[in-house]
Structure 1
Amino acid sequence: MSINLKSLVSVLNAEWIGSPADIFIDHISIDSRSLQNGSQTLFFALSGVNHDAHLYIAELIEKGVQNFVVEQIPENVTGKANFLLVKNSLSALQNFAAYYRAGFHFPIIGLTGSNGKTIVKEWLNFLLSPDYNIIRSPKSYNSQVGVPLSVIAINEMHNLGIFEAGISTVNEMVNLERIIKPNIGVLTSIGSAHDEGFENLKQKINEKLLLFKDSSVIIYQNNDLVDECLSEFCSQYFLDGRTLFSWSFTNDSADVFIVEKEAKNDSTLIKYQYKGEVFSLEIPFSDSASIENAISCLLVLLYFEYDFALIQNRIKMLYPVKMRLEVKNGINGCSIIDDSYSSDFQSLKIALDFLESQKKNASKTVILSDIFQSGFSNEELYSKVAQLISDNKIHRVIGIGPTISSFKDKFANSTVFQNTADFIHEIERFDFNNETILIKGARSFQFEEIVSLLEEKTHETVLEINLDAISHNFNYFKSKLGQNVKMMVMVKAFGYGNGGLEIAKLLEHHKVDYLGVAFADEGISLKNGGIKLPIMVLNPESTSFPSIIQYNLEPEIYSIKGLNAFLKIAREKNLKDYPIHIKLDTGMHRLGFENNTIDELIQTLKGNSTVRVQSILSHLATSDDSNYFDFVNQQISLFEELSLKLMSELNINPIRHILNTSGISNFPNAQYNMVRLGIGLYGVSNDSAEQKYLENVGTLKSIISQVRTIPAGDSVGYGRRFMAQKETKIATIPIGYADGISRLWGNQAGFVTIKNQKAFIVGSVCMDMLMADVTHIDCKEGDSVVIFGESPTVIEMAEVLRTIPYEIMTSISQRVKRVFFR
């Protein structure tokens, strides 16, 4: 994104007050706490019942933000920045998003409904991401604010969008429709969530259908009321060629009719009829909500004309979406089901089903807040809730909130509190022991504090690996390749420190052509983990050749000595056409055959049927440095000359590859038959312009072990390298140089992030700990600490430490637990 700010005056219906010069913005923000706010940020000052961002404009200006969309200009900032003055900042944000969206013309899937939007969105992203570069709503950004923020994230590399739209009353969808403009509409389950904003269910369905005003297909579950609403909708909003694509458990006239449904342990086998044929499909879930969501995904895949075998293979790999329900280990042998996200009647039913299927202990406790968005009177609602609790054989109920407290008598064995703070104050009197605890509350009750107190405190330092980000980065670089150009992805050095096997499994899902490792033991580990992809070993030692053959790995051969050693073993094993990869040295001068050894290489290989040259490769030395692009072109020319000579003399037509990550971006004309993607997969580019298109993969996290306040004159750490100039609050964090944190990052050279704020490291980094100045941060023991991720990034750390991101990423110790999530 790079937009001339003044060009937005008419788009936003704004009055310009500011500099006469042309100004370009590349970032949109509504969060004054964001560390990404900067000189090219356009900040929309939103105001609502409980907040007014105009109050933070002065602070933002001090941080370098110069461009604002405002409803009024605070007196203390007049003349200090550029302002687009509008009547309503939220409407202006929506206008901007609609304007921005109009610049892109790829297919967009729009999702709406009462339940399942986020799950279907995440599953569709997983199912379609091997074939598309997808932009989707983050988390549950489906509101009047969330939708425009989601759409603004589109860039020119995307070729499919998936956005969800949520509404709570009438006249809201019209705003979201003009922003999303979906070509494909998916209506998920319709229930009682947000019923308060509508006269009846029909009005709610009609309002939701407005999202599909210009959609060429609408996917939905067939029932009488939805059919009636759709008939009226299509009459009112006629679109030539629009398709209604339905499914049903009961109506055999639906496009997809579920003939049979059979529970199998934790999965469900369905048989569905489509276009006169019956197909089987295994869904890896047993609860009804997940089955319905999976069927919605099935219809999207059918609409995209996916092969039935491929549909079966991908859907059986679906996974639980953890942003709403997540199982965690608790204190004293308890297990916790964390649903501290929403509280409505329909989701409570789902959560209780989940509790039953996931319980590790016979005794069950529910901690429940006031319930919203039910559509019932309070008397009727809590009677239904009490019945649900009874039916699910819950042993103890802890109710939190003024409304549920007033209906305490409806629940057996219950204790109630007016608010979360009151419960936390008395939490120690509850003997939580060997039970399964469902923590279910609306966001406003801040039940995450309860989760934090009851969760088992283990694995305090973890490296979280975002597999979605890896998929995004893979698709970004894949989109740069010419037709039929293959992709090798490097997973050496434990996947650049991120975890080799888990990433290899994801890449196998994405149908990557080759994996690359440095040494044979890395390849063996992947093969033992079940990886079927071909794996090239870049630095094979001659002693590893028998193991390479045993595990069907493919060696890179870079010397006559190595070739003869491999040929000897291959002949002893009576191999025929075993794949090898010939490395040419075109200027890196690290490994490879040079010009003066090519003739001997040819003579050794001529007439040889034991091995087959699978590929010819070389390595670029300076593809990331524009000062040496001439040298890169010399390397490419020499590679062309030597590889053609090999191909001609040996009468072969192997794969050729020379480009690494930066080469893919900077030398598109040298893609040959294959490229090798390395650091770019993990979200790192040497090009700041390209970096904006990549997503962060690894986030190294820890917690605060202890907080203390020291007086002026006291020191911190070994060698007294930090002396407090004033009273200073110090946080100790359990991670040090034994975990891979450089000592050079200490003593105010580097920082960690706590509560979205920078906390500079003070004193020397110890073997197992480091200390940070948190005087300005309201934090406590147990609070989360980001060592690197979004801020600081490994790129920022590398600049300070005068090294490269590779070194930082691969230095993280194996004693740091890796946690993978989608």
Structure 2
Amino acid sequence: MNIESFYNLYKKANNCIIDSRKLQNNDIFFAFSGESYNAAEKAEEAIANGALAVIVEDITFSNPGRNIFYVESTLKFLQDLAIYHRSQLKIPIIGLTGSNGKTTTKEMISTVLSKKFYVQNTFGNLNNHIGVPLTILSIKPEHEIAVVEMGANHQKEIESLCKIAKPNIGYITNFGKAHLEGFGGFEGVIKGKSELYYYLKSYEQCILVNEADAIQLEKTKDYVNKISFGKSTSDFVYDVFAKEHFVGLIYQNEKLLSNLTGQYNFTNLSAAVSLGLHFKIEFKDIKEAIENYFPSNMRSQVQKKGDKTLVLDTYNANPSSMSASLDNFKEFEGSKTIIIGDMLELGNESEAEHQSIYEKASQLSFDQIITVGKEFKKVNHHDLAFENTSALIDYLKENPIITQNILLKASRGIALEQAIECL
């Protein structure tokens, strides 16, 4: 199947999908198969249900007369189609990666830019080798700018995603202790995330730099085409302020208060504001956009439940973000319980990192510490420790938490949000 000839068909489609259950009329279905199933078996059914075309990598299901097309690799064809589509686009694309805060920052940037532009952005966390091409293919002629989140858990992945998204502006939220197993340690994280910098420099594109981050400064010190925020010599200078549990910033004596908890979100907020100012959006409009943005994705989310305040941060966790969450939660007024779950993909460093976090939690003198997961259970010898969320829920049904504030923080695989109904 030739990409250029198929592109004419793609331009008539509404969406590109990889889940036949989500098929809507005039979509293109890319049939990705797994070890235990053959998605190509859904091809005829997809066409009958209104699909414009289906891409399969099992030649026995090929039927060009029904717009069911065989390719050697569904993934490669999806990526190649996205690359070709990107070459036709004339709009700026902002590429975003980092260890923590990618999705929150992406959403705030998109919210701010929407004050002036028709924006497309990564849906949810579709930020990998499949999600990025799907995001690129979702960009329509009417879009004026796009924000593409790029996730990675090993070397060369960001490099590959940059070849698909071809960002004109790039930002790395931070370099943290995430996916240590895949990256081969913290230095591997720095190297892997910096692949975004290598791409941008190679094509003389713009880099957004947080000047409070020593690694970002070092990696971009000799590069001219950049936007900076942070210090008095930066392009955009902000002061941090907080009200109750929420973080805000001050720009040229004007205050902006977000609905995000934690001073660790100050840099995420600063990045969004900086890009808004860079694209000539007035600060009053940026302020309105941010103050009307409410997190609803279990990331830095503050929720009132009866007489309790819940801090929900259960979508992702690594040693860097866990430590920042504990520091932030310590500042809450009133009695406090923390429920922290395992941090995944830490490899050989897992036990040491869980030990370090548990010791920190103990030193911060919370009223109650509860851990969930096998890794924390290895190091927690003094407080409540549960092997999984199901066991935690059974306990909470009989032993309700009485403190005023409760923090839930864990990697996504722990599914700690399932315990919310018991709090």
CA drift of 1:264 comes to 5.8
- Report the equivalent of 1:41: 27
For 1:219, give the aligned amino acid. Answer: L
Distance 1:55 1:289, change over 3 A: farther
Whether 1:414 and 2:414 are equivalent positions in the alignment is no
- Report the equivalent of 1:150: 135
- Report the equivalent of 2:300: 325
Q: Do 2:15 and 2:138's aligned partners in 1 also have CA atoms closer than 8 Å?
A: no
1:219 to 208, 221, 224: 208
CA distance in 1, matches of 2:242, 2:55: 54
Tell me the percent identity. Answer: 24
CA drift of 1:219 comes to 0.9
CA distance in 2, matches of 1:423, 1:225: 39
Distance 1:434 1:347, change over 3 A: same
Q: Do 2:43 and 2:68's aligned partners in 1 also have CA atoms closer than 8 Å?
A: no
- Report the equivalent of 2:15: 27
The higher radius of gyration belongs to: 1
- Report the equivalent of 1:72: 58
Task: State the SS of the aligned residue for 2:153.
Answer: coil
Distance 1:231 1:47, change over 3 A: farther
CA drift of 1:218 comes to 1.0
CA distance in 1, matches of 2:354, 2:296: 27
CA drift of 1:44 comes to 0.9
Q: Is 41-50 or 124-133 further displaced after alignment?
A: 41-50
Map 1:659-678 to 2 at 5 A: none
Q: Which runs of 5+ in 2 are unaligned?
A: none
Whether 1:297 and 2:272 are equivalent positions in the alignment is yes
State the Cα deviation string for residues 63-93 of structure 1 (Å, max 9, x = none): 45473222224x6x56595433223222221
CA distance in 1, matches of 2:248, 2:10: 61
For 1:68, give the aligned amino acid. Answer: V
CA distance in 1, matches of 2:291, 2:389: 38
Q: Do 1:42 and 1:67's aligned partners in 2 also have CA atoms closer than 8 Å?
A: yes
Distance 1:449 1:49, change over 3 A: farther
CA distance in 2, matches of 1:335, 1:268: 16
Which structure shows the bigger proportion of residues in helix conformation?
2
Distance 1:282 1:215, change over 3 A: farther
TM norm structure 1: 0.45
State the Cα deviation string for residues 476-527 of structure 1 (Å, max 9, x = none): xxxxxxxxxxxxxxxxxxxxxxxxxxxxxxxxxxxxxxxxxxxxxxxxxxxx
CA drift of 1:169 comes to 1.4
The alignment of Structure 1 onto Structure 2 pairs a total of residues equal to: 413
CA distance in 1, matches of 2:410, 2:107: 22
CA distance in 2, matches of 1:425, 1:262: 40
CA drift of 1:362 comes to 1.6
Q: Do 1:282 and 1:315's aligned partners in 2 also have CA atoms closer than 8 Å?
A: no
1:351 to 299, 304, 325: 325
Whether 1:115 and 2:100 are equivalent positions in the alignment is yes
CA distance in 2, matches of 1:253, 1:389: 37
For 2:401, give the aligned amino acid. Answer: F
CA distance in 2, matches of 1:52, 1:343: 33
1:430 to 395, 399, 407: 399
Map 1:549-628 to 2 at 5 A: none
Task: State the SS of the aligned residue for 1:218.
Answer: strand
CA drift of 1:112 comes to 2.0
- Report the equivalent of 1:690: none
- Report the equivalent of 1:701: none
Map 1:98-247 to 2 at 5 A: 98-199=83-184, 200=187, 201-212=189-200, 213-214=202-203, 216-222=205-211, 223-230=213-220, 243-247=225-229
For 2:18, give the aligned amino acid. Answer: I
CA drift of 1:294 comes to 2.1
CA drift of 1:152 comes to 1.8
CA distance in 1, matches of 2:246, 2:106: 21
Distance 1:421 1:155, change over 3 A: same
CA distance in 1, matches of 2:154, 2:54: 30
- Report the equivalent of 1:506: none
- Report the equivalent of 1:619: none
Map 1:139-538 to 2 at 5 A: 139-199=124-184, 200=187, 201-212=189-200, 213-214=202-203, 216-222=205-211, 223-230=213-220, 243-249=225-231, 253-256=233-236, 261=240, 279-284=252-257, 287-307=262-282, 310=284, 313-314=287-288, 317=291, 319-323=293-297, 324-330=299-305, 333-353=307-327, 355-356=329-330, 362-366=335-339, 368-374=340-346, 377-409=349-381, 412-417=382-387, 419-425=388-394, 427-433=396-402, 435-451=404-420, 453-454=421-422
TM norm structure 2: 0.82
CA drift of 1:290 comes to 1.8
State the Cα deviation string for residues 744-764 of structure 1 (Å, max 9, x = none): xxxxxxxxxxxxxxxxxxxxx
Task: State the SS of the aligned residue for 2:194.
Answer: helix
- Report the equivalent of 1:587: none
- Report the equivalent of 1:503: none
Task: State the SS of the aligned residue for 1:33.
Answer: helix
For 1:351, give the aligned amino acid. Answer: S
Q: Do 2:108 and 2:290's aligned partners in 1 also have CA atoms closer than 8 Å?
A: no
CA drift of 1:386 comes to 0.7
CA distance in 2, matches of 1:98, 1:186: 21
CA distance in 2, matches of 1:243, 1:78: 48
Task: State the SS of the aligned residue for 1:377.
Answer: helix
State the Cα deviation string for residues 17-64 of structure 1 (Å, max 9, x = none): xxxx99964431101221x334x3321122457876346446545645
Q: Do 1:185 and 1:215's aligned partners in 2 also have CA atoms closer than 8 Å?
A: no
Q: Do 2:57 and 2:70's aligned partners in 1 also have CA atoms closer than 8 Å?
A: yes
Task: State the SS of the aligned residue for 2:355.
Answer: helix
Task: State the SS of the aligned residue for 1:126.
Answer: helix
Q: Do 1:365 and 1:435's aligned partners in 2 also have CA atoms closer than 8 Å?
A: no
State the Cα deviation string for residues 390-421 of structure 1 (Å, max 9, x = none): 24433334433332222232xx321222x334
Q: CA RMSD in A?
A: 3.6
CA drift of 1:167 comes to 1.6
Q: Do 1:221 and 1:248's aligned partners in 2 also have CA atoms closer than 8 Å?
A: yes
Distance 1:434 1:396, change over 3 A: closer
Q: Do 1:282 and 1:316's aligned partners in 2 also have CA atoms closer than 8 Å?
A: no
Q: Do 2:57 and 2:72's aligned partners in 1 also have CA atoms closer than 8 Å?
A: yes
Distance 1:354 1:85, change over 3 A: farther
CA distance in 2, matches of 1:10, 1:439: 50
CA drift of 1:96 comes to 1.5
